[in-house]
A and B are shown apart, each in its own frame.
Chain A
């Protein structure tokens, strides 16, 4: 009994410590965002990595998500004789929910894991210590461009996902299953309002911040990982836990933002 309590206390302390560290990390990163000089070249490089190189994956997943929404939506709506609502059903679920969430999950898988591993390896091989000893602020030099890039890239990727998804739904619903083309778009036009797009935008911005925060902080504090953050295995374990934590956090925040904005 006592042992169990001790273990519980230990876990709680570790959790608090980790939460405090990650909080301070975020604050340091955000402060470093505000301090000049700004390095457009470094930011562009990160936009290329986080944004541009995720584009193909986003196009692909967006198209198939829209297509399956068209398919499922059609058969569900037909039961109530309201196939005409297919356009708005597809558009609303994409713009409010699936677009931001699935884009975030794809970016976690593609870029979040890479960022965590990259920074973790830099930590392990003393490259971050080397930066500090050269009086180069690692937050400013390594983290700030990633945050800026994510804040630009995630909303854009989300919009691409939405648009491709809507056309995917169109392809299945209209071209294959025979819903009227005019109804598909007219229904969408009538039901999607600015608040829906705003919700998608807010979500994608928050998710962008969360993804970079969690993956970068996990790598940066590799040495404090409970499971042992040393060596190649330490990097791989930490990357896995960063991906899991980031994905779960994105879903939790998705609920919170929806609850607040609806």
Chain B
């Protein structure tokens, strides 16, 4: 799916952010191309979610610029920001379902509040999305009555219900077992093929997540250390990326690199 000529829909340039005296982001540069899947990886506590919150306009950078669809999120007017966000779908780390509403109402909420759809249209749309997530029959349940995997799927259904242009995933598989996370990945793959959205994923789940991504970006020491295709990422010379690949995937890949060097010399 990777396409070098696609235009970029999200641009971060020189984004810096302090929390109190602690500098969390120290000049983040990243661009997300339309229709692709960009995965942001990095050790815990490096500020991956903070980068995501900048893209969503929930946090403003102390310096630098975040543009989405060509609009600077820090200076844009509230109404304009709403318009930009109409194109967003978000799956939060802890899903953030409205716990006092049923599954049906959770998924229907964006349609009720943001569109002029009639009751029947809303019902049809919500049921279609829930069926897509294999969630038929849970409509009247409350989030607290669902398992972790089901909650994530309801969250995904809610994120997709307005047919967004960009979908953000904050740790979509954290806390799920292998089968459940595979299921989330399968749903992600299927819905992206169907709805053609741009995806930004923050994840820990290396190397599995590489299979789904067009670009992988490593966040370390407050900077993006490189945003490249998964293959290039695994063979990168950047010391941070190399260390990350080695700790998460074992030393196999580094020996491959050494061998490659060996052959080149010969």
Q: B-contacting residues of A (Cβ < 8 Å)?
A: 118, 122, 125-127, 129-130, 132-137, 141
Contact = CB atoms under 8 A, between A and B. Distances in A.
Given A127-B97, A135-B114, 11 more contacts: A127-B96, A129-B56, A129-B96, A130-B90, A130-B92, A134-B109, A135-B85, A136-B109, A136-B113, A137-B82, A141-B113
Contact of B94 (A122, A126, A136, A137): A126
A136 B92 contact: no
B85 A132 contact: yes
B56 A127 contact: no
A130 B92 CA distance: 8
B98 A127 contact: yes
Interface of B: 53, 56-58, 82-83, 85-86, 88, 90, 92-94, 96-100, 109-110, 113-114, 162
A39 to B, nearest CB: 9
Contacts of B58: 129, 132-133
A133 B82 contact: no
A161 B53 CA distance: 48
Contact of B85 (A122, A127, A133): A133
A135 B98 CA distance: 15
Please provide the 10 A-B residue pairs with the shortest distance between their CB atoms, ordered closest to farther.
A126-B96, A135-B85, A130-B96, A135-B82, A133-B90, A134-B110, A136-B113, A135-B86, A126-B92, A127-B96
Max count, chain B CB within 10 A of own CB: residue among A126, A134, A135, A137: A134
> Is chain A's interface secondary structure helix, strand, loop, or mixed overall?
helix
A118 to B, nearest CB: 8
Contacts of A133: 56, 58, 85, 88, 90
B41 to A, nearest CB: 21
A125 B85 CA distance: 20
A136 B110 contact: yes
Nearest to B90: A133
A191 to B, nearest CB: 48
Contacts of A118: 100
8 contacts: A126-B94, A127-B97, A129-B53, A132-B58, A133-B90, A134-B162, A135-B82, A141-B113
B105 to A, nearest CB: 13
A132 B60 CA distance: 14
A126 B98 CA distance: 9
Contact of A125 (B86, B94, B114): B94
Contacts of B162: 134
Contacts of B110: 134-136
